[in-house]
């Protein structure tokens, strides 16, 4: 690791794309497509940072992670399993704590910066 500050607006170290429907049982509505630019992954892979873009759709949120998000552009929402809904738009930032159960919904193509800490229990 070189110890330099990482600017998330610069070109990512690597990119990937996926159709979320290719992951079993995730998509609830639509056919969201994701583009991910990874800027940083820690040596133990427990912490990562990057930029993510999604087309509209709704899917089950992941679990066992803490995630900080900053919405660069777009409109999305997080919907807790109890029905509580929080909408986010350009310029908003928020934290999704480990243990959140619910859904992501993207109404307008959304781009965000993210920092994720993997909280998966180690055997």
Q: 79-112 pLDDT, tens per residue?
A: 999 999 999 999 999 999 999 999 999 999 999 9
Q: 2-52 pLDDT, tens per residue?
A: 678 989 988 888 999 999 988 888 999 999 999 999 999 999 999 999 999
Let me know if residue 46 belongs to a domain: yes
Q: What is the CATH number of the domain that holds 86?
A: 2.60.120.10
Nearest-angstrom CA–CA distance, 53 and 19: 12
Let me know if residue 75 belongs to a domain: yes
What residues are paired with 50 via a beta bridge?
Answer: 38, 114
How many domains in the chain?
A: 1
Let me know if residue 14 belongs to a domain: no
Q: Work out the angle at residue 56's Cα, subtended by the Cα atoms of residues 51 and 57, and round it to the nearest 5 degrees.
A: 110
Let me know if residue 91 belongs to a domain: yes
Let me know if residue 26 belongs to a domain: yes
Residue labelled with tokens 């940072």: 49
pTM, two decimal places: 0.91
Is 122 a residue whose pLDDT tops 90? no
Let me know if residue 123 belongs to a domain: no
Q: What domain range includes position 68?
A: 19-118
């Amino acid at each position: 690791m070189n110890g330099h500050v990482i600017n998330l607006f610069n070109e990512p170290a690597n990119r990937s794309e996926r159709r979320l429907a290719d992951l079993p049982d995730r998509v609830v509505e639509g056919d969201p497509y994701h583009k991910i630019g990874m800027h940083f992954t820690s040596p133990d892979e427990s912490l990562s940072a990057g930029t993510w873009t999604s087309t509209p759709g709704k899917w089950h949120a992941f679990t066992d992670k803490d995630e900080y998000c900053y919405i660069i552009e777009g409109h999305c929402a997080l919907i807790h399993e109890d029905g509580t809904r929080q909408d986010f738009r350009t310029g908003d930032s928020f934290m999704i704590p480990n243990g959140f159960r619910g859904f992501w919904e993207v109404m307008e193509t959304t781009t965000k910066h993210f920092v994720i800490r993997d909280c998966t229990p180690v055997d």
